[in-house]
Amino acid sequence: MSVYRDAIALATGAPGDLVNEDIREQVQTIVDSSTPELNLRRIGWIFAAREQMLEFNVPVALALESMMVALKAPQR
């Protein structure tokens, strides 16, 4: 989740340090291939998977698979 937060921060020029400064290059790749809006949706999908596992007793593997399909970068 913090990687997508950092991508939003880089894309919008927000001041401050990145949480994942050590992987800035990979975060920049996400910035170059997506939009802040998409990355915000990705954070929402991560929260949704967490909620499915914790509150609705969805099997972990199923919730993570659903999340990974949602997080897949759209083809340009």
Tally of domains within the chain: 1
Per-residue pLDDT reduced to its tens digit, 3-58: 999 999 999 999 999 999 999 999 999 999 999 999 999 999 999 999 999 999 89
- Residue found by looking up tokens 């809006």 in the block: 37
Q: Please answer whether residues 70 and 31 qualify as being in contact, where contact means their C-beta atoms are separated by less than 8 angstroms.
A: no
**Cβ burial 10-44 (10 Å sphere, 16+ → b, else e):** bbeeeeeebeeeeeeeebeebbeebebebbeebbe
In 1-76, where does DSSP find H-type helix? 2-12, 24-33, 36-55, 60-71
pTM: 0.84
Q: Is the pLDDT at 76 greater than 80, yes or no?
A: no
The domain containing residue 55 runs over which residues?
Answer: 2-71
Q: Within a domain: residue 76?
A: no
